[in-house]
Amino acid sequence: MSVDWITVSAQIVNFLILVWLLKRFLYQPVIRAMDRREQRIAEQLEQARQREHQAQQQQQQYQEKANELDRQREDILSKAKENAEQQKHELMDQAREEVSDIRKQWQQQVEQEKQAFLKNLRSKSAGAIQAIGRKALSELANVELEEQVISSFLLRLKSLDHNTRKALTQALQESSEPLRIHTAFELDPAVRGRITRAVHEHIVEGIETEYFESEQLLCGIELNAGAQRISWSLADYLDGLGKQVEDAFASTSSSNR
Amino acid sequence: MNISPDDVVFWQWGGFPLNATVAYTWLVMALLTLISWLVTRRLSTGTEISRWQNLLEVLVSGIRDQIRDVSRQDPGRYLPFVGTLFLYIAMANLLNIVPGYMAPTGSLSTTTALAICVFVAVPLFGIAYEGPVTYLKHYVKPTPLMLPFNIVGEFSRTIALAVRLYGNIMSGTVIAAILLSLTPYFFPVVMQLLGLLTGMIQAYIFAILAMVYIASATSVQTGNKDNLPNNKLSNNNTDKAG
Protein backbone atom coordinates (compact mmCIF):
# COMPACT_ATOMS: atom_id res chain seq x y z
CA MET A 1 0.00 0.00 0.00
CA SER A 2 1.93 2.84 -1.35
CA VAL A 3 1.24 5.90 -3.41
CA ASP A 4 3.22 6.11 -6.59
CA TRP A 5 3.29 9.83 -7.23
CA ILE A 6 4.20 9.45 -10.89
CA THR A 7 1.15 7.28 -11.36
CA VAL A 8 -0.90 9.73 -9.35
CA SER A 9 0.09 12.61 -11.61
CA ALA A 10 -0.49 10.45 -14.68
CA GLN A 11 -3.92 9.50 -13.37
CA ILE A 12 -4.78 13.15 -12.69
CA VAL A 13 -3.87 13.99 -16.26
CA ASN A 14 -5.78 10.94 -17.49
CA PHE A 15 -8.83 11.97 -15.50
CA LEU A 16 -8.73 15.53 -16.81
CA ILE A 17 -8.41 14.22 -20.36
CA LEU A 18 -11.34 11.90 -19.75
CA VAL A 19 -13.38 14.80 -18.43
CA TRP A 20 -12.69 16.71 -21.61
CA LEU A 21 -13.35 13.70 -23.83
CA LEU A 22 -16.63 12.85 -22.20
CA LYS A 23 -17.68 16.45 -22.19
CA ARG A 24 -16.90 16.62 -25.87
CA PHE A 25 -18.39 13.29 -26.91
CA LEU A 26 -21.02 12.49 -24.32
CA TYR A 27 -22.53 15.25 -22.26
CA GLN A 28 -22.74 18.04 -24.77
CA PRO A 29 -24.24 16.04 -27.66
CA VAL A 30 -26.61 14.10 -25.46
CA ILE A 31 -27.84 17.18 -23.62
CA ARG A 32 -28.14 19.07 -26.87
CA ALA A 33 -30.17 16.23 -28.35
CA MET A 34 -32.41 16.08 -25.31
CA ASP A 35 -32.89 19.83 -25.31
CA ARG A 36 -33.69 19.81 -28.98
CA ARG A 37 -36.16 17.04 -28.50
CA GLU A 38 -37.79 18.86 -25.64
CA GLN A 39 -37.91 21.98 -27.72
CA ARG A 40 -39.43 20.06 -30.63
CA ILE A 41 -41.97 18.42 -28.38
CA ALA A 42 -42.80 21.78 -26.88
CA GLU A 43 -43.13 23.23 -30.36
CA GLN A 44 -45.31 20.35 -31.44
CA LEU A 45 -47.43 20.75 -28.36
CA GLU A 46 -47.70 24.44 -29.04
CA GLN A 47 -48.62 23.72 -32.64
CA ALA A 48 -51.14 21.16 -31.52
CA ARG A 49 -52.57 23.67 -29.10
CA GLN A 50 -52.80 26.28 -31.82
CA ARG A 51 -54.36 23.78 -34.19
CA GLU A 52 -56.82 22.77 -31.54
CA HIS A 53 -57.60 26.40 -30.95
CA GLN A 54 -58.10 26.97 -34.65
CA ALA A 55 -60.19 23.84 -34.92
CA GLN A 56 -62.32 25.02 -32.06
CA GLN A 57 -62.75 28.40 -33.66
CA GLN A 58 -63.63 26.82 -36.96
CA GLN A 59 -66.02 24.47 -35.25
CA GLN A 60 -67.63 27.43 -33.58
CA GLN A 61 -67.87 29.24 -36.89
CA TYR A 62 -69.40 26.23 -38.56
CA GLN A 63 -71.77 25.81 -35.68
CA GLU A 64 -72.83 29.42 -36.02
CA LYS A 65 -73.23 29.01 -39.75
CA ALA A 66 -75.28 25.88 -39.26
CA ASN A 67 -77.45 27.66 -36.74
CA GLU A 68 -77.86 30.55 -39.15
CA LEU A 69 -78.82 28.18 -41.92
CA ASP A 70 -81.29 26.44 -39.67
CA ARG A 71 -82.81 29.75 -38.74
CA GLN A 72 -83.02 30.85 -42.36
CA ARG A 73 -84.58 27.56 -43.33
CA GLU A 74 -87.12 27.94 -40.56
CA ASP A 75 -87.89 31.45 -41.75
CA ILE A 76 -88.27 30.36 -45.35
CA LEU A 77 -90.43 27.45 -44.36
CA SER A 78 -92.68 29.56 -42.20
CA LYS A 79 -92.94 32.21 -44.91
CA ALA A 80 -93.75 29.57 -47.49
CA LYS A 81 -96.36 28.14 -45.17
CA GLU A 82 -97.85 31.56 -44.63
CA ASN A 83 -97.88 32.25 -48.35
CA ALA A 84 -99.44 28.89 -49.06
CA GLU A 85 -102.06 29.49 -46.39
CA GLN A 86 -102.80 32.93 -47.75
CA GLN A 87 -102.97 31.65 -51.30
CA LYS A 88 -105.22 28.85 -50.18
CA HIS A 89 -107.53 31.31 -48.53
CA GLU A 90 -107.51 33.51 -51.59
CA LEU A 91 -108.18 30.59 -53.88
CA MET A 92 -110.92 29.35 -51.58
CA ASP A 93 -112.48 32.79 -51.50
CA GLN A 94 -112.19 33.07 -55.26
CA ALA A 95 -113.70 29.64 -55.70
CA ARG A 96 -116.46 30.49 -53.29
CA GLU A 97 -117.14 33.73 -55.12
CA GLU A 98 -117.15 31.96 -58.42
CA VAL A 99 -119.43 29.30 -57.09
CA SER A 100 -121.76 31.86 -55.61
CA ASP A 101 -121.67 33.85 -58.86
CA ILE A 102 -122.49 30.78 -60.85
CA ARG A 103 -125.19 29.86 -58.41
CA LYS A 104 -126.57 33.36 -58.56
CA GLN A 105 -126.53 33.26 -62.33
CA TRP A 106 -128.11 29.87 -62.31
CA GLN A 107 -130.67 30.99 -59.77
CA GLN A 108 -131.34 34.06 -61.83
CA GLN A 109 -131.73 31.90 -64.87
CA VAL A 110 -133.95 29.52 -63.00
CA GLU A 111 -135.85 32.45 -61.61
CA GLN A 112 -136.22 33.94 -65.02
CA GLU A 113 -137.37 30.65 -66.42
CA LYS A 114 -139.70 30.22 -63.52
CA GLN A 115 -140.97 33.75 -63.93
CA ALA A 116 -141.45 33.17 -67.62
CA PHE A 117 -143.12 29.88 -66.93
CA LEU A 118 -145.29 31.36 -64.21
CA LYS A 119 -146.17 34.31 -66.35
CA ASN A 120 -147.07 32.01 -69.12
CA LEU A 121 -148.94 29.71 -66.80
CA ARG A 122 -150.63 32.63 -65.13
CA SER A 123 -151.85 34.21 -68.27
CA LYS A 124 -152.78 30.89 -69.76
CA SER A 125 -154.54 29.57 -66.68
CA ALA A 126 -156.24 32.90 -66.07
CA GLY A 127 -157.30 32.98 -69.62
CA ALA A 128 -158.48 29.39 -69.46
CA ILE A 129 -160.41 29.98 -66.24
CA GLN A 130 -161.85 33.14 -67.68
CA ALA A 131 -162.77 31.37 -70.86
CA ILE A 132 -164.37 28.52 -68.95
CA GLY A 133 -166.18 30.96 -66.68
CA ARG A 134 -167.31 33.05 -69.59
CA LYS A 135 -168.43 30.05 -71.52
CA ALA A 136 -170.25 28.56 -68.54
CA LEU A 137 -171.88 31.87 -67.58
CA SER A 138 -172.83 32.78 -71.12
CA GLU A 139 -174.47 29.43 -71.40
CA LEU A 140 -176.13 29.88 -68.04
CA ALA A 141 -177.39 33.41 -68.79
CA ASN A 142 -181.16 33.63 -69.03
CA VAL A 143 -183.98 36.07 -68.25
CA GLU A 144 -183.98 35.56 -64.53
CA LEU A 145 -180.32 36.01 -64.29
CA GLU A 146 -180.47 39.11 -66.48
CA GLU A 147 -183.20 40.46 -64.20
CA GLN A 148 -180.97 39.90 -61.23
CA VAL A 149 -178.09 41.61 -62.98
CA ILE A 150 -180.25 44.66 -63.74
CA SER A 151 -181.47 44.89 -60.16
CA SER A 152 -177.94 44.62 -58.82
CA PHE A 153 -176.85 47.37 -61.18
CA LEU A 154 -179.73 49.55 -60.09
CA LEU A 155 -178.88 48.89 -56.48
CA ARG A 156 -175.38 50.01 -57.16
CA LEU A 157 -176.60 53.16 -58.82
CA LYS A 158 -178.67 53.85 -55.76
CA SER A 159 -175.83 53.27 -53.36
CA LEU A 160 -173.26 55.43 -55.22
CA ASP A 161 -171.26 57.57 -52.85
CA HIS A 162 -171.16 61.29 -53.14
CA ASN A 163 -167.78 61.62 -54.78
CA THR A 164 -168.44 59.15 -57.53
CA ARG A 165 -171.75 60.69 -58.26
CA LYS A 166 -170.21 64.14 -58.40
CA ALA A 167 -167.45 62.93 -60.72
CA LEU A 168 -170.05 61.28 -62.96
CA THR A 169 -172.13 64.39 -63.10
CA GLN A 170 -169.16 66.52 -63.89
CA ALA A 171 -168.03 64.13 -66.66
CA LEU A 172 -171.51 64.13 -68.20
CA GLN A 173 -171.75 67.92 -68.10
CA GLU A 174 -168.36 68.42 -69.64
CA SER A 175 -168.99 66.06 -72.58
CA SER A 176 -171.86 66.67 -74.83
CA GLU A 177 -172.21 62.98 -75.57
CA PRO A 178 -175.17 61.05 -74.20
CA LEU A 179 -174.85 58.52 -71.41
CA ARG A 180 -174.02 55.11 -72.90
CA ILE A 181 -175.24 51.90 -71.33
CA HIS A 182 -173.77 48.58 -72.57
CA THR A 183 -175.40 45.26 -71.83
CA ALA A 184 -174.55 41.69 -72.73
CA PHE A 185 -178.10 40.84 -73.55
CA GLU A 186 -180.97 42.53 -75.24
CA LEU A 187 -183.06 44.71 -72.90
CA ASP A 188 -186.80 45.07 -72.91
CA PRO A 189 -188.06 48.61 -73.44
CA ALA A 190 -189.59 48.38 -69.98
CA VAL A 191 -186.33 47.50 -68.42
CA ARG A 192 -184.64 50.27 -70.43
CA GLY A 193 -187.18 52.69 -69.02
CA ARG A 194 -186.44 51.51 -65.50
CA ILE A 195 -182.77 52.07 -65.97
CA THR A 196 -183.23 55.48 -67.55
CA ARG A 197 -185.42 56.46 -64.66
CA ALA A 198 -182.91 55.30 -62.16
CA VAL A 199 -180.20 57.25 -63.96
CA HIS A 200 -182.32 60.37 -64.01
CA GLU A 201 -183.17 59.90 -60.39
CA HIS A 202 -179.67 59.22 -59.05
CA ILE A 203 -177.27 60.92 -61.45
CA VAL A 204 -178.43 63.71 -63.74
CA GLU A 205 -181.95 64.74 -64.33
CA GLY A 206 -183.05 64.48 -67.96
CA ILE A 207 -179.87 63.06 -69.42
CA GLU A 208 -180.06 61.30 -72.76
CA THR A 209 -179.30 57.59 -72.69
CA GLU A 210 -178.20 55.19 -75.43
CA TYR A 211 -178.24 51.41 -75.17
CA PHE A 212 -175.75 49.04 -76.81
CA GLU A 213 -175.25 45.30 -76.78
CA SER A 214 -171.80 43.97 -75.99
CA GLU A 215 -170.80 40.25 -75.85
CA GLN A 216 -167.65 41.10 -73.98
CA LEU A 217 -169.51 42.22 -70.88
CA LEU A 218 -170.55 38.67 -70.21
CA CYS A 219 -173.87 38.69 -68.49
CA GLY A 220 -173.40 42.26 -67.18
CA ILE A 221 -174.26 45.89 -67.62
CA GLU A 222 -172.03 48.96 -67.88
CA LEU A 223 -172.61 52.68 -67.69
CA ASN A 224 -170.12 54.95 -69.46
CA ALA A 225 -169.99 58.71 -69.01
CA GLY A 226 -166.82 60.05 -70.56
CA ALA A 227 -163.94 58.58 -68.60
CA GLN A 228 -166.21 57.52 -65.70
CA ARG A 229 -167.87 54.16 -65.63
CA ILE A 230 -170.16 52.14 -63.41
CA SER A 231 -170.73 48.48 -64.13
CA TRP A 232 -171.74 45.17 -62.85
CA SER A 233 -170.44 42.19 -64.85
CA LEU A 234 -169.29 38.66 -64.42
CA ALA A 235 -166.30 39.67 -66.56
CA ASP A 236 -165.19 41.88 -63.67
CA TYR A 237 -165.35 38.91 -61.35
CA LEU A 238 -163.48 36.79 -63.82
CA ASP A 239 -160.83 39.47 -64.20
CA GLY A 240 -160.61 39.53 -60.40
CA LEU A 241 -160.31 35.76 -60.40
CA GLY A 242 -157.50 35.94 -62.95
CA LYS A 243 -155.79 38.53 -60.81
CA GLN A 244 -156.20 36.36 -57.72
CA VAL A 245 -154.70 33.36 -59.52
CA GLU A 246 -151.75 35.42 -60.63
CA ASP A 247 -151.30 36.75 -57.09
CA ALA A 248 -151.39 33.21 -55.74
CA PHE A 249 -148.69 32.11 -58.19
CA ALA A 250 -146.62 35.14 -57.41
CA SER A 251 -146.78 34.49 -53.68
CA THR A 252 -145.86 30.80 -54.14
CA SER A 253 -142.93 31.63 -56.35
CA SER A 254 -141.70 34.31 -53.92
CA SER A 255 -141.99 31.91 -51.00
CA ASN A 256 -140.15 29.26 -52.99
CA ARG A 257 -137.27 31.58 -53.63
CA MET B 1 0.73 -11.65 -4.78
CA ASN B 2 0.42 -8.28 -6.38
CA ILE B 3 -2.17 -6.33 -4.52
CA SER B 4 -1.78 -3.00 -6.25
CA PRO B 5 -1.94 -2.67 -10.01
CA ASP B 6 0.78 -0.08 -9.63
CA ASP B 7 3.23 -2.83 -9.11
CA VAL B 8 2.43 -4.53 -12.40
CA VAL B 9 4.66 -2.77 -14.87
CA PHE B 10 4.14 -3.50 -18.54
CA TRP B 11 6.76 -1.25 -20.02
CA GLN B 12 9.46 1.07 -18.69
CA TRP B 13 10.54 4.25 -20.44
CA GLY B 14 13.26 6.03 -18.58
CA GLY B 15 11.96 6.86 -15.12
CA PHE B 16 8.36 6.49 -16.22
CA PRO B 17 6.88 3.02 -15.85
CA LEU B 18 3.74 2.07 -17.78
CA ASN B 19 2.02 0.12 -15.04
CA ALA B 20 -1.34 -1.66 -15.07
CA THR B 21 -3.08 1.30 -13.40
CA VAL B 22 -2.32 3.71 -16.19
CA ALA B 23 -2.76 1.10 -18.92
CA TYR B 24 -6.20 -0.03 -17.71
CA THR B 25 -7.20 3.57 -17.11
CA TRP B 26 -6.46 4.22 -20.75
CA LEU B 27 -8.55 1.19 -21.64
CA VAL B 28 -11.46 2.51 -19.62
CA MET B 29 -11.04 5.95 -21.14
CA ALA B 30 -10.91 4.50 -24.62
CA LEU B 31 -14.01 2.40 -24.04
CA LEU B 32 -16.01 5.28 -22.62
CA THR B 33 -14.96 7.65 -25.35
CA LEU B 34 -15.53 5.11 -28.09
CA ILE B 35 -19.00 4.20 -26.88
CA SER B 36 -19.89 7.86 -26.49
CA TRP B 37 -18.56 8.76 -29.89
CA LEU B 38 -20.26 5.83 -31.60
CA VAL B 39 -23.60 6.61 -30.07
CA THR B 40 -23.51 10.39 -30.23
CA ARG B 41 -22.33 10.28 -33.84
CA ARG B 42 -25.93 9.76 -34.91
CA LEU B 43 -28.17 11.35 -32.38
CA SER B 44 -31.85 11.53 -32.98
CA THR B 45 -33.75 14.57 -31.83
CA GLY B 46 -37.07 13.02 -32.64
CA THR B 47 -39.17 10.73 -30.52
CA GLU B 48 -37.67 7.61 -32.11
CA ILE B 49 -34.28 6.93 -30.50
CA SER B 50 -31.85 4.00 -30.50
CA ARG B 51 -31.32 1.84 -27.43
CA TRP B 52 -27.77 3.07 -26.93
CA GLN B 53 -28.83 6.66 -27.16
CA ASN B 54 -31.61 5.88 -24.72
CA LEU B 55 -29.05 4.36 -22.33
CA LEU B 56 -26.78 7.37 -22.54
CA GLU B 57 -29.68 9.76 -22.12
CA VAL B 58 -30.88 7.87 -19.06
CA LEU B 59 -27.34 8.00 -17.62
CA VAL B 60 -26.81 11.66 -18.31
CA SER B 61 -30.25 12.77 -17.17
CA GLY B 62 -29.93 10.54 -14.07
CA ILE B 63 -26.63 12.15 -13.15
CA ARG B 64 -28.09 15.59 -13.81
CA ASP B 65 -31.05 14.82 -11.57
CA GLN B 66 -28.74 13.61 -8.79
CA ILE B 67 -26.62 16.72 -9.05
CA ARG B 68 -29.67 18.92 -9.00
CA ASP B 69 -31.06 17.08 -5.98
CA VAL B 70 -27.82 17.45 -4.04
CA SER B 71 -26.82 20.97 -5.00
CA ARG B 72 -30.21 22.54 -5.64
CA GLN B 73 -28.48 24.31 -8.49
CA ASP B 74 -28.32 24.07 -12.22
CA PRO B 75 -26.36 20.87 -12.91
CA GLY B 76 -24.80 22.05 -16.16
CA ARG B 77 -21.61 23.41 -14.61
CA TYR B 78 -20.84 20.35 -12.45
CA LEU B 79 -21.97 17.66 -14.85
CA PRO B 80 -18.66 17.04 -16.69
CA PHE B 81 -16.64 16.72 -13.50
CA VAL B 82 -19.04 14.76 -11.32
CA GLY B 83 -20.41 12.71 -14.18
CA THR B 84 -16.97 11.71 -15.32
CA LEU B 85 -16.06 10.68 -11.78
CA PHE B 86 -19.06 8.41 -11.65
CA LEU B 87 -18.70 6.98 -15.16
CA TYR B 88 -14.95 6.38 -14.81
CA ILE B 89 -15.17 4.64 -11.44
CA ALA B 90 -18.24 2.66 -12.46
CA MET B 91 -16.67 1.51 -15.69
CA ALA B 92 -13.36 0.73 -14.02
CA ASN B 93 -15.12 -1.39 -11.40
CA LEU B 94 -17.52 -2.98 -13.88
CA LEU B 95 -14.67 -4.32 -15.99
CA ASN B 96 -13.55 -6.40 -12.95
CA ILE B 97 -15.56 -9.25 -14.39
CA VAL B 98 -13.12 -9.46 -17.28
CA PRO B 99 -10.41 -12.01 -16.41
CA GLY B 100 -6.94 -10.56 -16.19
CA TYR B 101 -8.24 -7.06 -15.72
CA MET B 102 -7.18 -5.16 -12.67
CA ALA B 103 -9.33 -2.25 -11.62
CA PRO B 104 -7.31 1.02 -11.60
CA THR B 105 -9.53 2.09 -8.70
CA GLY B 106 -7.89 -0.66 -6.66
CA SER B 107 -4.71 1.40 -6.68
CA LEU B 108 -4.27 4.01 -4.02
CA SER B 109 -2.55 6.16 -6.63
CA THR B 110 -5.71 6.38 -8.73
CA THR B 111 -7.98 7.08 -5.82
CA THR B 112 -5.50 9.65 -4.52
CA ALA B 113 -5.41 11.28 -7.91
CA LEU B 114 -9.21 11.42 -8.00
CA ALA B 115 -9.34 12.76 -4.45
CA ILE B 116 -6.79 15.42 -5.31
CA CYS B 117 -8.95 16.37 -8.27
CA VAL B 118 -11.91 16.81 -5.93
CA PHE B 119 -9.67 18.63 -3.45
CA VAL B 120 -8.71 21.13 -6.11
CA ALA B 121 -12.13 21.28 -7.75
CA VAL B 122 -14.03 22.24 -4.60
CA PRO B 123 -12.35 25.61 -4.06
CA LEU B 124 -12.21 26.19 -7.79
CA PHE B 125 -15.96 25.80 -8.15
CA GLY B 126 -16.46 27.86 -5.02
CA ILE B 127 -14.30 30.68 -6.33
CA ALA B 128 -15.92 30.49 -9.74
CA TYR B 129 -19.27 30.72 -8.06
CA GLU B 130 -18.75 33.57 -5.60
CA GLY B 131 -15.35 35.08 -6.30
CA PRO B 132 -12.00 34.41 -4.52
CA VAL B 133 -12.36 36.85 -1.63
CA THR B 134 -15.79 35.74 -0.57
CA TYR B 135 -14.76 32.13 -0.88
CA LEU B 136 -11.57 32.50 1.13
CA LYS B 137 -13.42 34.41 3.84
CA HIS B 138 -15.35 31.21 4.24
CA TYR B 139 -12.27 29.64 5.96
CA VAL B 140 -12.18 32.22 8.77
CA LYS B 141 -15.80 31.77 9.69
CA PRO B 142 -17.37 31.82 12.19
CA THR B 143 -14.10 33.13 13.75
CA PRO B 144 -10.51 33.27 12.50
CA LEU B 145 -9.76 30.72 15.22
CA MET B 146 -11.47 28.14 13.09
CA LEU B 147 -9.06 28.61 10.19
CA PRO B 148 -6.76 25.66 11.06
CA PHE B 149 -9.69 23.37 11.67
CA ASN B 150 -11.25 24.31 8.38
CA ILE B 151 -8.01 23.60 6.55
CA VAL B 152 -7.56 20.27 8.36
CA GLY B 153 -11.16 19.41 7.53
CA GLU B 154 -10.47 20.13 3.90
CA PHE B 155 -7.49 17.77 3.82
CA SER B 156 -9.01 15.03 5.91
CA ARG B 157 -12.03 15.06 3.68
CA THR B 158 -9.85 14.49 0.64
CA ILE B 159 -7.87 11.72 2.26
CA ALA B 160 -11.01 10.00 3.48
CA LEU B 161 -12.41 10.10 0.00
CA ALA B 162 -9.30 8.53 -1.46
CA VAL B 163 -8.95 5.83 1.14
CA ARG B 164 -12.63 4.92 1.08
CA LEU B 165 -12.65 4.14 -2.62
CA TYR B 166 -9.26 2.45 -2.55
CA GLY B 167 -10.13 0.36 0.48
CA ASN B 168 -13.39 -0.87 -0.94
CA ILE B 169 -12.08 -1.82 -4.35
CA MET B 170 -8.81 -3.21 -3.11
CA SER B 171 -10.46 -5.14 -0.33
CA GLY B 172 -12.82 -6.65 -2.84
CA THR B 173 -9.94 -7.77 -4.95
CA VAL B 174 -7.98 -9.02 -1.95
CA ILE B 175 -10.94 -10.91 -0.51
CA ALA B 176 -11.57 -12.52 -3.86
CA ALA B 177 -7.94 -13.55 -4.06
CA ILE B 178 -7.88 -14.95 -0.54
CA LEU B 179 -11.13 -16.84 -0.99
CA LEU B 180 -9.94 -18.17 -4.30
CA SER B 181 -6.97 -19.75 -2.54
CA LEU B 182 -9.11 -21.09 0.31
CA THR B 183 -12.34 -22.21 -1.36
CA PRO B 184 -11.91 -22.27 -5.09
CA TYR B 185 -14.56 -22.59 -7.85
CA PHE B 186 -17.84 -21.23 -6.49
CA PHE B 187 -17.57 -18.88 -3.58
CA PRO B 188 -15.24 -16.40 -5.31
CA VAL B 189 -17.90 -15.97 -8.01
CA VAL B 190 -20.36 -14.79 -5.39
CA MET B 191 -17.73 -12.47 -4.01
CA GLN B 192 -17.05 -11.21 -7.49
CA LEU B 193 -20.76 -10.34 -7.82
CA LEU B 194 -20.63 -8.63 -4.49
CA GLY B 195 -17.56 -6.78 -5.71
CA LEU B 196 -19.48 -5.52 -8.74
CA LEU B 197 -22.23 -4.26 -6.49
CA THR B 198 -19.74 -2.57 -4.17
CA GLY B 199 -17.96 -1.04 -7.12
CA MET B 200 -21.16 0.55 -8.37
CA ILE B 201 -22.06 1.81 -4.93
CA GLN B 202 -18.58 3.25 -4.53
CA ALA B 203 -18.82 5.02 -7.84
CA TYR B 204 -22.10 6.50 -6.76
CA ILE B 205 -20.84 7.48 -3.30
CA PHE B 206 -17.65 9.02 -4.65
CA ALA B 207 -19.49 11.12 -7.19
CA ILE B 208 -22.18 12.15 -4.73
CA LEU B 209 -19.66 13.07 -2.06
CA ALA B 210 -17.66 15.13 -4.51
CA MET B 211 -20.86 16.88 -5.43
CA VAL B 212 -21.75 17.43 -1.79
CA TYR B 213 -18.37 19.03 -1.11
CA ILE B 214 -18.68 21.25 -4.14
CA ALA B 215 -22.24 22.12 -3.22
CA SER B 216 -21.23 23.01 0.32
CA ALA B 217 -18.52 25.25 -1.07
CA THR B 218 -20.93 27.05 -3.36
CA SER B 219 -24.26 27.05 -1.57
CA VAL B 220 -23.17 27.69 2.03
CA GLN B 221 -22.56 31.32 1.37
CA THR B 222 -25.97 31.69 -0.19
CA GLY B 223 -27.47 29.87 2.75
CA ASN B 224 -25.71 32.20 5.20
CA LYS B 225 -27.24 35.15 3.52
CA ASP B 226 -30.68 33.69 3.33
CA ASN B 227 -31.30 31.45 6.24
CA LEU B 228 -28.98 30.55 9.11
CA PRO B 229 -30.67 27.47 10.64
CA ASN B 230 -30.95 25.75 7.29
CA ASN B 231 -27.31 26.46 6.64
CA LYS B 232 -26.27 24.88 9.95
CA LEU B 233 -28.32 21.85 9.16
CA SER B 234 -26.70 21.40 5.79
CA ASN B 235 -23.28 21.85 7.37
CA ASN B 236 -24.01 19.11 9.87
CA ASN B 237 -25.17 16.86 7.11
CA THR B 238 -22.03 17.49 5.14
CA ASP B 239 -19.83 16.68 8.13
CA LYS B 240 -21.64 13.44 8.77
CA ALA B 241 -21.35 12.42 5.16
CA GLY B 242 -17.66 13.24 5.10
Contact B43 A31 (CB under 8 A): no
Report the share of chain A in percent with pLDDT over 90: 28
Q: What's the pLDDT tens digit per position in B125-180?
A: 888 888 888 888 878 877 888 888 888 888 887 788 777 777 777 776 677 677 77
Contact B117 A18 (CB under 8 A): no
**What is the pLDDT at residue B215?**
86
Contact B6 A23 (CB under 8 A): no
**What is the pLDDT at residue A67?**
96
**What is the pLDDT at residue A89?**
94
Q: How confident is the model at residue A174 (pLDDT cuts 50, 70, 90)?
A: confident
Indicate whether A125 and A26 sit together in one domain.
no
| 3-class SS letters over chain B | CCCCHHHCEEEEECCEEEEHHHHHHHHHHHHHHHHHHHHHHCCCCCCCCCHHHHHHHHHHHHHHHHHHHHHCCCHHHCHHHHHHHHHHHHHHHHHHHCCCCCCHHHCHHHHHHHHHHHHHHHHHHHHHHHCHHHHHHHHHCCCHHHHHHHHHHHHHHHHHHHHHHHHHHHHHHHHHHHHHHHCCCCHHHHHHHHHHHHHHHHHHHHHHHHHHHHHHHHHHHHHHHHCHHHHHHHHHHHHHHC
Contact A30 B56 (CB under 8 A): yes
ipTM entry: 0.80
Q: Is A132 on the interface with B (CB under 8 A)?
A: no
**What is the pLDDT at residue B227?**
40
Which position has the higher pLDDT, B139 or A2?
B139
As for how many domains chain A has, the answer is 2
Best to test chain A binding among B110, B117, B124 (most A CBs inside 10 Å): B110
Residue A86 inside a domain? The answer is no
Name the residue of chain B whose CA is nearest to A26's CA: B36
Residue A238 inside a domain? The answer is yes
Q: Residue range A121-131: average pLDDT?
A: 72
**What is the pLDDT at residue B234?**
42
Indicate whether A144 and A20 sit together in one domain.
no
Residue A38 inside a domain? The answer is no
Name the residue of chain A whose CA is nearest to B53's CA: A30
Q: What's the pLDDT tens digit per position in B193-239?
A: 887 888 888 889 889 888 888 888 776 444 444 443 444 444 444 44
Contact B22 A40 (CB under 8 A): no
- CB–CB contacts below 8 A, A to B: 123
Q: Which residues of A touch B79 (CB under 8 A)?
A: 27, 31
Residue A143 inside a domain? The answer is yes
Which position has the higher pLDDT, B95 or B108?
B95
Q: What's the pLDDT tens digit per position in A43-92?
A: 999 999 999 999 999 999 999 999 999 999 999 999 999 999 999 999 99
Indicate whether A125 and A3 sit together in one domain.
no
Q: Residue range A23-39: average pLDDT?
A: 89
Domain of A10, in residue numbers: 1-32
**What is the pLDDT at residue A141?**
66
Q: Residue range B30-41: average pLDDT?
A: 91
Contact B104 A11 (CB under 8 A): yes
Contact B80 A17 (CB under 8 A): no
CA distance to partner chain A, nearest, from residue B207 (Å): 13
**What is the pLDDT at residue B226?**
42
**What is the pLDDT at residue A126?**
66
Residue A235 inside a domain? The answer is yes
**What is the pLDDT at residue B218?**
78
Contact A4 B19 (CB under 8 A): yes
- Option in B60, B76, B84 nearest A18 (CB): B84
